A = this chain, B = another copy of it.
Amino acid sequence: MSTSSLPEQDVLNDLREIAQQLRVDSVRCSAAASSGHPTSSMSAADLMAVLLARYLRYDFGDPKAPGNDHLIFSKGHASPLLYAMLRAAGAIGEEELLSYRTVGSRLEGHPTPRLPWVDVATGSLGQGLPVGVGVAMAGKTLDRLPYRVWVLCGDSELAEGSIWEAAEQAGYSRLDNLTVIADINRLGQRGPTRHGWDTRAYAARFRAFGWHALEVDGHDIAAIDRALGEAERHDGAPTVILARTRKGRGVAAVEDQEGKHGKPVPSADEAVSELGGVRDIRVRVTTPPPMPPAQRAKPAGTWRPPGYEPGSMAATRTAFGQALAALGDARPDVVVLDGEVSDSTRTGFFADRHPNRFFEFYIAEQQMIAAAVGMQVRGWVPFAATFAAFFTRAQDFIRMAAVSRASIRLCGSHAGVSIGQDGPSQMGLEDLAAMRAIFGSTVLCPCDANQAAWLTGVMADLPGVSYLRTSRGDTPVIYQPGERFTVGGSRVLRSAPDDQVTLVAAGVTVHEAMAAADLLAEDGVSARVIDAYSVKPVDAATLRAAARETGRLVVVEDHWPEGGLGDAVLSAVAAGGAPLPTVRKLAVRSMPASAAPEEQLQLAGIDTASIATAAAELVAGHGA
């Protein structure tokens, strides 16, 4: 329970005992596992003891309760401390605590949401705080509920730029529902941190970004209590509590010593004795007052994607943006995030229609993705957009979103050389490879506006990380308005019983492939054309049938040759078990420069003429 008066002496003693229990349990579980990070846990034990016993409002019996606070261990390697807190709160028992890091245990080396009390996976440093910023933004502006967000940070991770993206976002947004508890134990993995115990250096940085900063002795229970109370009361800015601590605190064999990171404490039994022995204190954590789930607006009708006239021209990015705006009418849970390029990605259509559910992150892609993850923790359905190329800036956050079992939807515009004159820095040429290699992801690459619009709606209900690749330029509309496209599907755009080769394409190359099939027909070659808009999962059955029936595949993509559509198609036909067809991959194989879009396709060898030539050569048996 929160209070502004100082705790009595016996309360302080109780808190010290809880802290010692957290240390003992950290030592015990990592000793049982013969691995883990007990010393990084022991430094923060006093901080977490006071938080758990006096400030956190959380119903461990109902982790989805709308009023629960959120506690995020940004220093995920301090997982023994988190698990010790769970035991102290009665959420897990002794046996589970000691299952730490074993096969089948929910108590992984770094926390994941396999535990219902864990919002997101951490362990890649510098991510927990930006995610916490997303949760706090949801609390302030979407849920409008009084829960608080507490983030435990390590000092080493304060070197990550993502921390300062978060500091900027939180300071500017005046997120006074957010408190960072920074465990300044001065020792990183391989030795001293840059700033050691210089909490003033950190305080100056946070204050410059608009934060309320407090410096305390992280082993002084009363001082910690005062700081947490002040953080809770402080209005108009997030608070960071910079706590000077000693790594391995309480066990002389490891306390404040180098070379003790990420390994069990030697002589665990002696360490436990030194810490006063095993305890079985049960902390009665304050539950939040009952409150209804966050109110959402009523849907304004059912979802109908915008329609585009077949034969007209439209950019898939525009269709995405217009579909998203329409989706926002039907789905009050949809929120949109952008990185200062909403005029390019076309999320601006959504921003205009639903300004309260649109979030501008300026050019801070890591914070943008982290906030999307944080908002989906609270049940929102985030779409985040930037140029396809610039998602690489947040690749580690997307990777970790998959470990978090987070459902986030990404749209990358300006994919491929077909953007034209801006040159390679702006071209997404590795996005399909990067997004395919995210666990459980869905990767979609529409070629026309109706397809893009429909798939945008499909994404709203997809679990995991999904990605839509859109193009900058206008492409012909070839599908009907409202035509349905499924994840894992494809469209056979052209097919005949005597097809001698199959052209597989996605996005802009579909139109080049169709034109190539026309050219080939003039030369007496019958070509099948498949629009493989679902790159992951790819339509293996249709591709295998085409491989079997035509014996030859040409796969053409506006992407590097590695890891994209070509590799997806090869992998799918290989998994069929039958001997494989002859396959030729057309892709971007030299570094592009500036040129007009049609020149770019030609220079990259992925235009109509190149496809026709490759297919004709394959049919003539000239190798691949």
Q: Using a CB–CB distance below 8 Å, which chain A residues touch chain B?
A: 33, 35-36, 76, 100-105, 107-110, 112, 114, 121-126, 156-157, 159-165, 168, 172, 188-190, 193-194, 204-205, 207-209, 340-344, 348, 361-364, 366-367, 389-390, 392-393, 395-396, 399-400, 402-403, 420-426, 429-430, 433-434, 436-440, 536, 551, 560-564, 566-568, 570-571, 574-585, 591, 593-596, 599, 603, 622-624
Contacts and interface: CB of A to CB of B under 8 A. Distances in A.
Contacts of A107: 594
A209 B596 CA distance: 43
A307 to B, nearest CB: 27
Contact of A438 (B189, B426, B430, B599): B430
A579 B579 contact: yes
A139 to B, nearest CB: 21
23 contacts: A35-B422, A109-B422, A109-B423, A112-B423, A112-B424, A114-B593, A122-B425, A161-B161, A164-B165, A205-B209, A392-B395, A392-B396, A395-B395, A403-B424, A436-B562, A437-B563, A561-B571, A562-B567, A563-B563, A571-B585, A574-B584, A575-B585, A580-B583
A425 B400 contact: yes
Given A35-B421, A434-B434, 4 more contacts: A429-B437, A430-B434, A536-B562, A562-B568
Nearest to A553: B574
A154 B140 CA distance: 31
B396 A393 contact: yes
Contacts of A110: 422-423, 425-426
A439 B109 CA distance: 35
Contacts of A341: 189-190
B562 A624 contact: no
Contacts of A36: 421
A168 B159 contact: yes
A108 B568 CA distance: 32
B190 A348 contact: yes
Q: Which of A76, A108, A190, A582 has the most chain B CB within a 10 Å cutoff?
A: A190
Contact of A439 (B434, B575, B591): B591
A552 to B, nearest CB: 10
A564 B425 CA distance: 24
Contacts of A348: 190
A231 to B, nearest CB: 20
A624 B438 contact: no
A194 B361 CA distance: 9
B574 A563 contact: no
Q: Which of A107, A364, A389, A584 has the most chain B CB within a 10 Å cutoff?
A: A364
B603 A425 contact: no
A340 B357 CA distance: 39
A421 B567 contact: no
A363 B156 contact: yes
Contact of A121 (B124, B425, B578): B425
Contacts of A102: 594-595
A532 to B, nearest CB: 15
Contacts of A440: 591
Nearest to A347: B190
A421 B581 contact: no
Nearest to A99: B594
B342 A190 contact: yes
A594 B30 CA distance: 13
Q: Which of A344, A423, A585, A599 has the most chain B CB within a 10 Å cutoff?
A: A423
B396 A362 contact: no
